Amino acid sequence: MSTLPSEGALNRLRGELSPAGIRIVAVSKTQAPERIRILYDQGQRDFGENYVQELLAKQPLLPEDIRWHFIGHLQSKKVRSIAPFISVIHAVDSLHLLEEIQSQGSRLGRVIDCLLQVHISREETKFGLDEASLFDLAQTIGSRPGDFSQARLIGLMGMATLTDDQALVREEFRKMKELLGKLQEKFFADFPWFRELSMGMSSDYSIAAKEGATLVRIGSLLFGPRD
Ligand SMILES: *Cc1c(COP(=O)(O)O)cnc(C)c1O
């Protein structure tokens, strides 16, 4: 049994981030519902999960006013199962996925907030859009706003390189902010809600906060190390 989520950690994070209006998403992957409940009882409402099956198992056991964020890679065929309750989908990386979110949102009469995942790190990954694909996709979405009424694009999500080199991490977060600004100007001038930057985790959220994050995704700092 690992230690309980610490009230001190949440309070410290709030003290650091709330004055700047930065929202904390508590990343609860691998955590049992009772442990999520402890943070809920401290007023935390935004929780992030990476795996559809795990989220589907936990969501019915927890209060309905939790705002669930899906922060992992999402397959289009799995959108349907989380669409009835998901609040924000952070890692949209294709038009096909966004269209499926739109279609499920429209079937249910819900608006689902979405972020485009950008590949900013030096690490090899098959997830996230490179800059050229990001601009292509943004152009398509910006030119067909009526087609995405239920899959509302609110900004960008990214992960910095896992490194002790703080200058590199800062540079990658700056890049995200710069991309957000360019996209706002070029394609989303009429979308005032396209303004969010989901960046920063336990190890690098302070840098992200200074570089313009509006959402930080914090797991181990709140819950302790994962098993
Ligand atoms: C697990 C995870 C986090 C949180 O990581 P910590 O280092 O525990 O804070 C944030 N974002 C994503 C996408 C994750 O998968």
User: Taking the domains of the chain in order of start, what are their residue ranges?
Assistant: 25-194
Asked whether 157 and 115 are in contact (CB, 8 A), the reply is yes
Asked whether 218 and 26 are in contact (CB, 8 A), the reply is yes
Q: Decide whether any atom of ligand 1 lies within 6 Å of the 202 Cβ.
A: yes
Rounded to two decimals, the pTM is 0.96
State the distance from the centre of ligand 1 to the C-alpha of 117, rounded, in angstroms.
14
pLDDT value of residue 1: 45
State the distance from the centre of ligand 1 to the C-alpha of 204, rounded, in angstroms.
11
Q: Decide whether any atom of ligand 1 lies within 6 Å of the 71 Cβ.
A: yes
Pick the residue with more confidence: 122 or 150? 150
How far apart (Å, rounded) are the C-alpha atoms in residues 215 and 156?
10
Q: If DSSP codes are grouped into helix, strand and coil, which group holds residue 49?
A: strand
How far apart (Å, rounded) are the C-alpha atoms in residues 127 and 72?
10
Residue 101 has pLDDT above 50, yes or no: yes
- Which tens digit of pLDDT belongs to each residue from 167-209? 999 999 999 999 999 999 999 999 999 999 999 999 999 999 9
| Residue to substitute in 25, 116, 157, 201 for testing ligand 1 pocket (most ligand atoms within 8 angstroms of CB) | 201
**What are 118's two structure tokens?**
């950008």
| Residue to substitute in 27, 90, 197, 215 for testing ligand 1 pocket (most ligand atoms within 8 angstroms of CB) | 27
Q: Decide whether any atom of ligand 1 lies within 6 Å of the 220 Cβ.
A: yes
Residue 80's H or E segment, with its range, is: helix 79-82
What is the mean predicted confidence (pLDDT) over 13-25?
97
Smallest CA separation from ligand 1 atom 6, residue: 219
Residue 225 has pLDDT above 90, yes or no: no
Q: Decide whether any atom of ligand 1 lies within 6 Å of the 50 Cβ.
A: yes
State the distance from the centre of ligand 1 to the C-alpha of 167, rounded, in angstroms.
20
| Residue to substitute in 115, 159, 173, 217 for testing ligand 1 pocket (most ligand atoms within 8 angstroms of CB) | 217
What is the mean predicted confidence (pLDDT) over 103-107?
98
What is the mean predicted confidence (pLDDT) over 66-94?
98
What is the mean predicted confidence (pLDDT) over 60-80?
98
Q: Which CATH number fits domain 25-194: 3.40.50.150, 3.40.50.2300, 3.60.15.10, 3.20.20.10?
A: 3.20.20.10
- Alpha-carbon 185 to chain mean position: 22
pLDDT value of residue 3: 59
Q: Provide φ and ψ at 61, rounded to 5°.
A: -90, -5
161 CB-near residues (< 8 Å, 6+ apart) = 121, 122, 123, 168, 169, 172
3-state helix, strand, coil in the chain (%, to 5): 45, 20, 35
CB atoms inside a 10 Å sphere around CB 198: 27
